[in-house]
Amino acid sequence: MRRGERDVTRWGIDEWYGRSFVLLTREERRELAALQAKPKRDRPVKRCPFRSRPGLDVACSKEGGVCSIRAYRRAGTSEQASVGEGEVGDLCTTCPYRFAEAGEVYRWIGGKLLGDESPIVVSEIGFLEREGGDEPDAEDAVLREDVGRIDSVLARGGGEILSWCALELQAVYFSGTSMSQDFRAIAAYQGDGVPFPAGRRRPDYRSSGPKRLMPQLQIKVPSLRRWGKKMAVLVDKGFFAALGRMDDVRDVSNCDIAWFVVGYDESQGDARLTREFARLTTLERAVEGLTSGRPVSLETFEARILEKLQAAGVTG
């Protein structure tokens, strides 16, 4: 660690346009970094390997092409990095389309909730319609645009009765430095190893859970429950581990929400999505899990206030 360097662990790119950052050559990394320096209209279209299938190429829609991030540690005093050890080094999914790999999650969810491991997947089904009256304010309009559709519906094939469930794919946002700083550093990097991330960032589970996912569930699940339909929520291990404790139910018939939690296997090179476990909960227990937290002591909280004041040059 360099003298004066406080954080020896930083979060950086793990998968870039579907490829392992660690396994890319220096030239391949620099080539991808150079793409980001071009105006968006001049960048060549890059294929999303997780949504594409034989006979159909789907373009990557993720700005910067970063599918997942992970924690890296500084290797000695050089600018090289090594993957963080233990769970801290696990992949953290930042693009929801990453979950679409080989259709594995659709088979899993369809089998458990619909009894069909080959469900039909349809997207963006209108869910909310604004009633007559005054025009909505900007905040209300954004909320309705955000939650006004069911992102994905899995339907059981065949049969005269339509059988289906809703699906939310929830990746994690990160807070801190944008990836553009890393792109510039990668383009200039001359070493042979993995470059240590240039920016400071971290997964922001608080924004991704209570601020993003919870409103989706609170608005959609009550209607689904009245209709007798289930909501499947797909997250990775890190996201689920960041949630508070949730009491579960034993049978699908008693749940509102079925959590499907995935991991990644890197033993053969590029990461491969794996099924980890499923949990069945009610909406009320899910909300508790998304919002729970333990308040710090008054002493700790006031110490943090004083630290901020001192950093701002304010003295008592």
pLDDT at 143 over 60: no
2 pLDDT band (50/70/90 cuts)?
very low
Joined tokens for residue 244: 């508070």
For position 158, what pLDDT does the model report?
79
Q: Do 215 and 182 lie in a common domain?
A: no
For position 316, what pLDDT does the model report?
55
For position 146, what pLDDT does the model report?
53
pLDDT at 78 over 70: no
Measured between alpha carbons, how far is 109 from 115 in angstroms, rounded to an integer?
A: 9
Measured between alpha carbons, how far is 176 from 146 in angstroms, rounded to an integer?
A: 23
pLDDT at 153 over 90: yes
Q: Do 112 and 220 lie in a common domain?
A: yes
Q: Do 242 and 121 lie in a common domain?
A: yes
Q: Do 22 and 152 lie in a common domain?
A: no
Per the CB < 8 A criterion, the answer to whether 216 and 240 are in contact is no
Joined tokens for residue 73: 């540690």
Q: Do 86 and 184 lie in a common domain?
A: yes
For position 1, what pLDDT does the model report?
41
Q: Do 84 and 107 lie in a common domain?
A: no
145 pLDDT band (50/70/90 cuts)?
low
Domain-located, residue 311: no
The rounded mean pLDDT for the chain is: 88
Cα–Cα–Cα angle for 167, 271, 77, rounded to 5 degrees: 125
Joined tokens for residue 106: 């659709």
Domain-located, residue 195: yes
Q: Do 180 and 209 lie in a common domain?
A: no
Q: Do 178 and 114 lie in a common domain?
A: no
Among residues of the chain, what percentage have pLDDT more than 90? 68
Q: Do 143 and 192 lie in a common domain?
A: no
Range of the domain at 213: 97-170+205-291
For CA atoms 307, 310, 312, 316, give the dihedral sign: positive
149 pLDDT band (50/70/90 cuts)?
confident
Q: Do 114 and 253 lie in a common domain?
A: yes
pLDDT digits (tens, 9 = 90+) for 105-118: 999 999 999 999 99
Domain-located, residue 227: yes
Domain-located, residue 224: yes
For position 127, what pLDDT does the model report?
84
Using alpha carbons, select from 271, 57, 287, 10 the residue that is nearest to residue 1.
10
Domain-located, residue 2: no
Domain-located, residue 187: yes
Domain-located, residue 303: no
pLDDT digits (tens, 9 = 90+) for 205-257: 988 999 899 999 999 999 999 999 999 999 999 999 999 989 999 999 999 99
Query: Sheet harboring 257-265: ordered strands across?
Result: 120-126, 149-155, 164-169, 231-236, 257-265, 272-281
For position 80, what pLDDT does the model report?
81
Q: Mark residue 124 as left, alpha or beta (left: phi above 0; alpha: psi -120 to 50; beta: remaining).
A: left
pTM above 0.75, yes or no: yes
Domain-located, residue 310: no
pLDDT at 137 over 70: no
Number of domains in the chain: 2
Q: Do 162 and 281 lie in a common domain?
A: yes
For position 76, what pLDDT does the model report?
62
Which residues, in sequence order, are CB contacts of 181 under 8 Å at separation 6+? Answer: 198, 199
Q: Do 187 and 250 lie in a common domain?
A: no
Measured between alpha carbons, how far is 77 from 3 in angstroms, rounded to an integer?
A: 9
